[in-house]
Chains A and B, each alone.
Chain A
Amino acid sequence: MIVSTLKRLFWALILLAAQVLILDQVHPWGYGAPLICSLIVITLPMGTSRSAALLWGFGVGFVADIFAGTAGISSAALTFIALIQPPLLGLMAPRDSEEELHPSFSTMGRWNYLQFIALLLLLHHLVYFALEGFSYFHIIDIAISMGVSYAASLLLIILIEHVRNPQK
């Protein structure tokens, strides 16, 4: 339990460092930067208590907010998907899966896991950009920023997941 928490913490630090030091500087076509911190919440194993999931989401979002100067935005968005992740994982995991299933391409199947990532990432981006934009006056700009960031994040997360846990 402690070892797996420490491992997860280390993984969270790596993702946060990549987000803050590299990805926050990347702006495809001048629009939104990719957001990959949600991967920490997405990959929480089955059986994680819902309260623990919420604390993970909030904690990671809080640190990301401090470094990106987006106080409250990432923490709200990641807490939201941390509420959705456990029941969604229960719905989308294969019936015969082990109790402590770690979501990945190999454990959930390619298509299932892709849908799982795409859905949670979309919810994260929707909340994040709605809170960041906070007005309907520039809805088209906000939507384009969200679309670009979503596409870039999804590609990057799929790539990371393939490297981290190649499909057998």
Chain B
Amino acid sequence: MHDFIERITAYVHWALFLILEAFSGFLLFQYNHYQGSIWFTQANTVVGIVHEWEAKALSYLRMPAENAALVRRNIILQQQLDELRHKANVDTSMVNDQWSMVNDSMRLIPARIIDNSVRKRDNMIVIDVGSEDGVAPEMGVLSGTGVVGIVSGVTPHHALVMSILNSHSSISCRLRGTEYFGYLKWKGGRPLRAYMDDVPRHAHIEKGDIVETSGFSNVFPAGIFLGKVAEIKNSSDGLAYELEILLSTDIANLRHVNVINNLIKEELDSLKAQ
């Protein structure tokens, strides 16, 4: 009997190993879905508080670089606006009227990133605003330099954002100045490179062409900068072009973002459903 017990205890660590690995496997499959993971992982209250402390400290360190990027972007936008006004010789009051109309239908909710990653295949971002601030799933998230991602889950004070650096992300986009549109997807690896597929072969494309949101999905308004064409390649079936896009937003180096609350999205969605 004693011998038997000794023999059993000699193998107890194997049983423990199998139990622990099985439990890890359970966690892996149970909680690695985006919405399902929200309670267990990054957005739960305790983890949220720790990440918030960290984010506060880091945002001070990264402020100079971010400010510089914003200033640069502001200057570029002002120059473009000026140029356009001259070209079109538009009455500026009309431009202002149109802008206020866009503003009435969209509300921007400022947020700070409290957790972020770019090294996984399915990267998610946690921001410090949630349902109590008016954030809901399917809302778009922007930074000063372009598109960041789409909200996929919310708790009262935090939201989980599916970053554009996520293999499930697919953003409706078009080439600026043309009607060619497609979907922007990320295939892993370099965080500044994504792909736009299904561009017809007769399209006239050049390196450096600008890719922007198409506005078809109602998540993002049309014309938001996504990046520039870096390479023109053939798609795997050879029937279309696949464009390699140099993304305008460096997700790895982000601290401040804005969530877009498209106030007429529900209206548009119900219209589409009809």
Q: Spell out A's residues near B (CB within 8 Å).
A: 20-21, 24-25, 27, 30-33, 49-51, 54-55, 57-58, 61, 65-73, 75-76, 79-80, 83, 131-133, 138, 141-142, 144-145, 149
Judge whether A76 and B21 touch: CB under 8 Å. Answer: yes
B95 interfacial by beta-carbon distance below 8 Å: no
Judge whether A72 and B191 touch: CB under 8 Å. Answer: no
Judge whether A68 and B117 touch: CB under 8 Å. Answer: yes
Number of B residues with CB within 8 Å of any CB on chain A: 41
Judge whether A66 and B190 touch: CB under 8 Å. Answer: no
Residues of A within 8 A of B120 (CB): 70, 132
B235 interfacial by beta-carbon distance below 8 Å: no
Q: Is the interface of A mostly helix, strand, loop or mixed?
A: helix
Judge whether B121 and A133 touch: CB under 8 Å. Answer: yes
State whether A83 and B17 are in contact (beta carbons under 8 Å apart), knowing that A65-B27, A73-B28, A144-B189 are contacts in the complex: yes
Judge whether A30 and B191 touch: CB under 8 Å. Answer: yes
State whether A27 and B191 are in contact (beta carbons under 8 Å apart), knowing that A54-B17, A66-B40 are contacts in the complex: yes
State whether A131 and B17 are in contact (beta carbons under 8 Å apart), knowing that A27-B119, A30-B190 are contacts in the complex: no
Complex Cα distance A38/B24, Å?
16
State whether A69 and B20 are in contact (beta carbons under 8 Å apart), knowing that A25-B58, A138-B189 are contacts in the complex: no
If A50-B13, A71-B37, A142-B188 are given as contacts, then 11 extra A-B residue pairs at C-beta distance below 8 Å, sorted by A number, are A24-B117, A30-B252, A67-B47, A67-B50, A69-B41, A72-B24, A72-B28, A75-B20, A75-B23, A132-B120, A141-B121
B93-118: which have CB < 8 Å to A?
A: 115-118
Which 8 A-B residue pairs are closest in the complex by CB-CB distance? A72-B28, A72-B27, A76-B24, A50-B13, A71-B31, A141-B189, A69-B41, A69-B42
Judge whether A30 and B118 touch: CB under 8 Å. Answer: yes
Judge whether A71 and B28 touch: CB under 8 Å. Answer: yes
B118-135: which have CB < 8 Å to A?
A: 118-121, 124
Chain A residue nearest to B15 (CB atoms) is: A51
B79 interfacial by beta-carbon distance below 8 Å: no
Judge whether A58 and B188 touch: CB under 8 Å. Answer: no
